[in-house]
Amino acid sequence: MKRGFFITFEGGEGAGKSTQIERLAQKLRAKRYDLLVTREPGGSAGAEAIRHVLLSGAAEPFGPKMEALLFAAARADHVEQVIRPALEDGKIVLCDRFLDSSRVYQGATVTPDFLALVERVAVNGVMPDMTLIFDIDPQEGLRRASLRRGAGPADRFEQETVEVHRRRREAFLEIARREPERCIVIDAAAEPETVENVVTAAVFAALAVRFAPEPAEAN
pLDDT tens digits, one per residue of 67-115: 899 999 999 999 999 999 999 999 999 999 999 999 998 888 899 999 9
CATH of the domain at 21: 3.40.50.300
Q: Is residue 62 part of a domain?
A: yes
Residue/partner pairs of 121-125 with CB below 8 Å, 24 or more apart: 121/72, 121/76, 122/71, 122/72, 122/73, 122/75, 122/76, 122/79, 123/75, 123/79, 123/99, 124/76, 124/79, 124/80, 124/84
The domain containing residue 150 runs over which residues? 5-210
- If one counts the domains in the chain, the total is 1
Q: Dump pLDDT digits (tens) for 139-159.
A: 998 888 888 767 676 655 666
Q: Is residue 37 part of a domain?
A: yes
Instruction: Return the number of other C-beta atoms located less than 10 Å from residue 73's C-beta.
Output: 18
| pTM of the entire predicted model | 0.89
Q: Is 215 inside any structural domain?
A: no
What's the pLDDT tens digit per position in 195-204? 999 999 999 9
Residue 217: inside a domain: no
Long-range contacts, 2-5 (Cβ 8 Å, 24+): 2/90, 2/210, 2/211, 3/87, 3/88, 3/90, 4/34, 4/86, 4/87, 4/88, 4/89, 4/90, 4/91, 4/92, 4/93, 5/87, 5/92, 5/93, 5/129, 5/130, 5/206, 5/207, 5/210, 5/211
Residue 213 has pLDDT above 80, yes or no: no
Q: Is residue 216 part of a domain?
A: no
Query: Does some domain include residue 218?
Result: no
